[in-house]
């Protein structure tokens, strides 16, 4: 059974002025997303600045998010690390505080071999009964989880059930589905590829765009599933300029600026990330307003 179908949001982690996590504002964001059709909350992922959270903050943020959501939609916790032992620890703790699933990125910097990836993911998955979503994003990790490796993991480990595919290659998505005989859930990791990936048989998207357009991102997925590919494609094409603006600087710099422009208090970013350049921010704001998104 799929963890979710539709649009899951890769949630930003709002920060107070002193740099601590702003749970009050996170609750507002969570409620806004669920009220506007978002199908799952992904907490402490790349967009949530997990790499600069302490272990204590990481676990507390997952715990607080689970409480905020209160079983309205699934909560998927990012628990990946380039250290297998750390990923195991975070995964166990996420299970203890009530997460519904885990998003586990491939080890970054180490650049493990494919055999190393199999050992790493198998070890993490064995630490909990929660369903595991592999996260394949070579642009950030330096290594591609190859389709045959994904198939080996999906067929050999019961609770490895899905992949967040951000390779950018539609051909790779098709190959993964072929190698797995279609028995794997694929979520687009790129907002500009939602329609083609779902059309191939994907279950949806783990999205940054959902921060500013939750209903349309949900609808984009469901239109494909329900057979209205033309309607879905129109939405996909409509949002391309905004998606481009949301990734004009490294994620989550632009999306945090976008959330602040909407009137939420997402705060600033933790170093080494810095505030969005004024020129890029102006383009982002113009794109948002063109889409009918009110900005302050």
Question: 146 CB contacts (<8 Å, ≥6 apart)?
Answer: 114
Which of the following is catalytic: 63, 164, 203, 256? Answer: 164
Q: Which helix (H) or strand (E) holds 216?
A: helix 214-225
Torsion of CA 230, 10, 31, 231, to 10 degrees: 0
Exposed / middle / buried, residue 54 (Cβ in 10 Å: 0-12, 13-18, 19+): exposed
Q: Which long-range contacts (CB under 8 A, 24 or more apart) does 110-115 make?
A: 110/82, 111/141, 111/142, 111/143, 112/143, 114/145, 114/146, 114/148, 114/149
CB 130 within 8 A of CB 99: yes
Residue 271, token pair as written in the block: 């170093």
Question: 80 CB contacts (<8 Å, ≥6 apart)?
Answer: 87, 90, 103, 104, 105, 106, 107, 135
CA distance 109 to 106: 10
Could you tell me which residues are beta bridge partners of residue 41? 9, 75
155 is catalytic: no
Which of the following is catalytic: 92, 109, 119, 135? Answer: 135
End-to-end Cα spacing for the chain = 41
164 is catalytic: yes
Exposed / middle / buried, residue 271 (Cβ in 10 Å: 0-12, 13-18, 19+): exposed
The residues annotated with a catalytic role in the active site are 135, 164
């Amino acid at each position: 059974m799929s963890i979710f179908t539709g649009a899951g949001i890769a949630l930003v982690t709002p920060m107070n002025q002193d740099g601590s996590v702003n749970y009050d504002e996170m609750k507002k964001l969570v409620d806004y997303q669920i009220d506007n059709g978002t199908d799952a909350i992904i907490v402490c992922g790349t967009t949530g600045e997990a790499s600069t959270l302490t272990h204590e903050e990481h676990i507390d943020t997952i715990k607080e998010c689970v409480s905020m959501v209160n079983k309205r939609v699934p909560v998927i916790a990012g628990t990946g690390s380039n250290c297998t032992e750390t990923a195991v620890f975070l995964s166990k703790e996420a299970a203890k505080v009530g997460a519904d699933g885990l998003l586990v990125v491939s080890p970054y910097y180490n650049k493990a071999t494919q055999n190393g990836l199999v050992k790493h993911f198998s070890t993490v998955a064995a630490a909990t009964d929660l369903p595991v979503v592999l996260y394949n994003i070579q642009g950030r990790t330096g290594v591609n989880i190859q389709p045959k490796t994904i198939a080996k993991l999906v067929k050999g480990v019961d609770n490895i059930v899905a992949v967040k595919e951000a390779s950018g290659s539609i051909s790779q998505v098709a190959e993964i589905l072929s190698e797995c005989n279609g028995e794997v859930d694929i979520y687009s990791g790129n907002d500009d590829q939602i329609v083609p990936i779902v059309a191939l048989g994907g279950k949806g998207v783990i999205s940054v765009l959902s921060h500013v357009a939750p209903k349309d991102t949900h609808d984009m997925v469901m239109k494909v599933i329900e057979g209205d590919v033309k309607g879905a494609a129109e939405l996909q094409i409509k949002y391309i300029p905004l998606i481009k603006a949301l990734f004009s600087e490294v994620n989550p710099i632009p999306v945090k600026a976008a959330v602040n422009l909407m009137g939420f208090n997402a705060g600033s970013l933790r170093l080494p990330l810095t505030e969005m350049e004024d020129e890029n921010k102006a383009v982002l704001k113009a794109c948002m307003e063109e889409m009918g998104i009110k900005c302050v």
